[in-house]
A and B are shown apart, each in its own frame.
Chain A
């Protein structure tokens, strides 16, 4: 499939993926406990259905798609950038910065709407900080980027724990939930912003995907092949990091998606980034929509009337699936 990849085929594949994603989103936004029938939305005689759909189901299903796509595609980008299969979207420190901003906003008792704004602000701030610390002679070498990111994350989480130990029990509980990640009850405006940043970031990553193929071979080989790795590495780093920052700012830290979906897609569809990048984005979106459906439905019955943390579901499904795929 990779050998005969030309632009028309590539475009056709992507449009097909987009269409499939649209269908899945519309199906899953109606599923849940209770079910919402599409007909009741338009007939107008059932205000509960409208409330359920437009204030709960639709925003969180869309957010699941955007966050899933952002995490998986940035996972692919970081794995290629660092030439490290263990890289995930949270490894380069931007997520730690976003989480720190969110936790700080909680501790300062800022209004809900400002929490994600401050978190995104902190994500951008840490992005530039990491960039300037990791930069060596105008380039972004994998090892210094990795080290800076890991150290910055450790530092950010130490500050989070410090704040956590100083606030009240109720606030500490909120901080825990913010770190566990959730797609619950976000206003449409925030969902829109995450969607916009994801779309822009993904577009840049897709345009960079053929360079990523070359960069994965190592900087020297890339230079020999006529690609200037230094510039492209920076573009990839910034595009992926902004996506991660936006998704953590709104949905918190949802683990596993950005690590496993890229690997699963690579095992099934091969390592060509031109194919892998859009497919991972789609796969991540699909995976998170499915996990979120399970998280909000599995234990919503009369006996429990509760929801599972989304990160629990992504790990419980993702890990065994990954093992099965490796052993197959």
Chain B
């Protein structure tokens, strides 16, 4: 695996990105103009919105990709449909999958993508930039935090997760951090028993209209410190994409933990 992706790709044709964070990484590396296909969720930077859509979050439109004759397709190891990847490889298309599950994976994958594209120094600089920005945000883990990604059922951020890594850096202790699962399903009773100081709800994205319903649901549990002290926050999960954008998310997370 390692040696195969270590060689440089032939870059006569265009590149296709199968994940929003990969699109963002390619733009950060100055390769955005080489993109010929992205996903329906690729909305950042704004230029990405103008590129043809060839996939959504899990499904890949293999016909559209074949028509584009790309020299390289980049996807993530998480959430990629194996059948589609195998099909494209059999048709002679160079498909590479990289892990972005945790912060270290993300750093390494950025460097490997840059190396693959023949611009290793740009990859190292991007990783260094992200590391430096995160260093500024470092805090002591004092407050206990519950990061909610789905409310019905209650799905939360567990251990071995990029968001868990960022939370540790900015000074929060994930109450579900000991879970081996990256996204455990928390019961109401586990929420109450965990007694988090802060609840960060990531379920809404940039939408605000559903917040009242979620808030009134959380507020039933009056024994929870986050509820008693009114420390329930809504953040946009897109700000935590495994790209340079995770700095935006980490800053917002540090903000809500500050006071």
Contact = CB atoms under 8 A, between A and B. Distances in A.
Interface string B174-208: 00101111001111111011010000000100000
Interface in A29-57: 32-34, 47-48, 50-52, 55-57
A48 B225 CA distance: 10
Interface stretch (B137-145, B216-224, B244-252): B216-224
Given A55-B188, A56-B188, A112 B181 contact: no
Contact of A305 (B58, B176, B224): B176
Given A32-B189, A174-B150, A177-B153, A303 B57 contact: no
Counting contact residues on chain B (CB < 8 A from A), the size range is 20 to 34
B189 A304 contact: no
A192 to B, nearest CB: 16
A57 B193 CA distance: 12
Most buried by B among A34, A60, A112: A112
Nearest to B159: A305
A143 interface: no
Given A51-B192, A52-B189, A305 B184 contact: yes
Most buried by A among B176, B189, B209: B189
Given A48-B195, A174-B152, A304 B179 contact: yes
A55 B180 contact: no
A305 B210 contact: no
A52 B193 CA distance: 7
Contacts, number: 93
Nearest to B179: A305
B188 A184 contact: yes
A307 interface: yes
A109 B210 contact: yes
Most buried by A among B184, B190, B195, B203: B190
Interface of B: 56-58, 150, 152-155, 158, 176, 178-181, 184-190, 192-193, 195, 203, 209-210, 213, 217, 220-224
A141 B158 CA distance: 53
Q: Which 6 A-B pairs have the closest CB atoms?
A: A306-B184, A56-B189, A51-B223, A305-B179, A47-B223, A56-B188
A298 B87 CA distance: 40
A44 to B, nearest CB: 12
Contact of A55 (B152, B185, B221): B221
Contacts of A300: 187, 190
Contact of B224 (A34, A51, A113, A306): A51
A9 interface: no
A305 B146 CA distance: 12
B186 A307 contact: yes
26 contacts: A32-B189, A33-B189, A34-B193, A47-B223, A48-B193, A48-B195, A55-B188, A55-B220, A55-B221, A57-B189, A109-B209, A112-B152, A112-B213, A169-B58, A184-B154, A184-B188, A185-B152, A185-B153, A185-B217, A303-B178, A304-B179, A304-B180, A305-B176, A305-B178, A305-B181, A307-B186
